[in-house]
Amino acid sequence: MCGRYAAAKDPAALAQEFETPAPAQVLAADFNVAPTKQVYVVVDRPEQGRSLEIARWGLVPSWAKDPAIGSRLINARAETIASKPAFRGAFAKRRCLVPATGYYEWYQPADGPLAASGKPRKQPFFIHPADGASLAMAGLYEWWRDATRPEDDPAAWRLTCTIITTDATDEVGRIHDRMPMTVPRAAWAQWLDPQHRVDVTGMLAPATAAVLDAYPVSTAVNSVRNNGPELIAPLHEGEE
C-alpha cells in the first residue's frame, strides 16, 4: 500500500511541471503526508482544462452516507478498480495524478533490532524518482455532497482522492510487495483525458525499476507529528 509520502515541491514549480495554472490555494511543503490531509491533485475537465486542485486524501464515493469511509479508501488496487463499487465510476471518468516528491515504505527484516513489541523493528525507506522529477502517482477523485449543508455553502462539496497501487517492481519489491502506480509524462494526457476516449486498463502496471531510487531514512517518519526535510535525508552507516 501507499500510506505516507512527501510533497515538498514549490507549487509554482509543480504547476509548471504539470502544465497547469498556478493553484488558487497554496499548500506548505509536507514531508510526512498522511491520510485525510489536504494534497494536490492534477485533474483535467472539459470546461476548465488541466488544473492543480486541492483534495482530501481518502476517497469518499458520491453515494456514501458518512465521509468517514474515506479513511479506509486511501488506496485502490489496480487489479480491482474497474469492478469495485467504490472505485469503478471514478476509474471510468474521474482519473487524476497525485504529485509527490517520493513515498515511504517500511521493510521488516527477519532479524535485526527489536521493537518494544518484541518483533523485528521495521525500517522506513524513502522511494523517489532517480532524476529528481515529481512522482506522478495515478489516482482517482470524487466530489462528495454534504447533505447537511445548504447548497450555496462552500463546504457543501468535498473533493477527495485515492492513490492506485500495483505490484512492486523487483527492486522496490524487496522492501514491500506493493507500490503506487505511476504514470510516465508521455502518458499524462491519456490518463487524464476528460473525454475518456481511450481504454487505459493497459496502463495499470508498475514503474520500471530503473526510474526509482530507494534508501533508508530515520524512524522519525513513523510519527505523523514529525515533519521537515530531515525525514527524507538518507541514514548514514551506524545510524538508526
191 in a structural domain = yes
Burial 60-83 (b: 16+ CB within 10 A, else e): bbeebeebebbeebbbbbbeebee
Answer whether residue 11 is part of any domain: yes
Residue 137, domain extent: 5-103+132-207
**What mean pLDDT is predicted for residues 169-174?**
76
Look at the chain and report how many structural domains it folds into: 1
Residue 227 lies in a domain: no
Q: Flag whether pLDDT at 8 surpasses 80.
A: yes
97 touches 139 (CB < 8 A): yes
Q: Indicate whether 58 belongs to any domain.
A: yes
CATH number at residue 81: 3.90.1680.10
Out of 2, 96, 142, 161, which one is annotated catalytic?
2
Instruction: Indicate whether 123 belongs to any domain.
Output: no
pLDDT for res 234? 96
Q: Are the CB atoms for 69 and 42 separated by under 8 Å?
A: no
Residue of 96, 105, 142, 161 marked catalytic: 105
Say whether 142 is catalytic: no
Which secondary structure element, helix H or strand E, spans residue 206, and what is its range? none
Is residue 127 scored above 70 in pLDDT? yes
pTM attached to this predicted model: 0.92
Known active-site residue 105: yes
Q: For 17-62, what is each residue's pLDDT tens digit? A: 999 999 989 999 999 999 999 999 999 998 889 999 999 999 999 9
In this prediction, residue 116 has a pLDDT band, given cuts at 50, 70 and 90, of low
Tens digits of residue pLDDT in 144-164: 998 888 888 877 899 999 999
Residue 114 lies in a domain: no
Task: Give pLDDT, residue 177.
Answer: 87
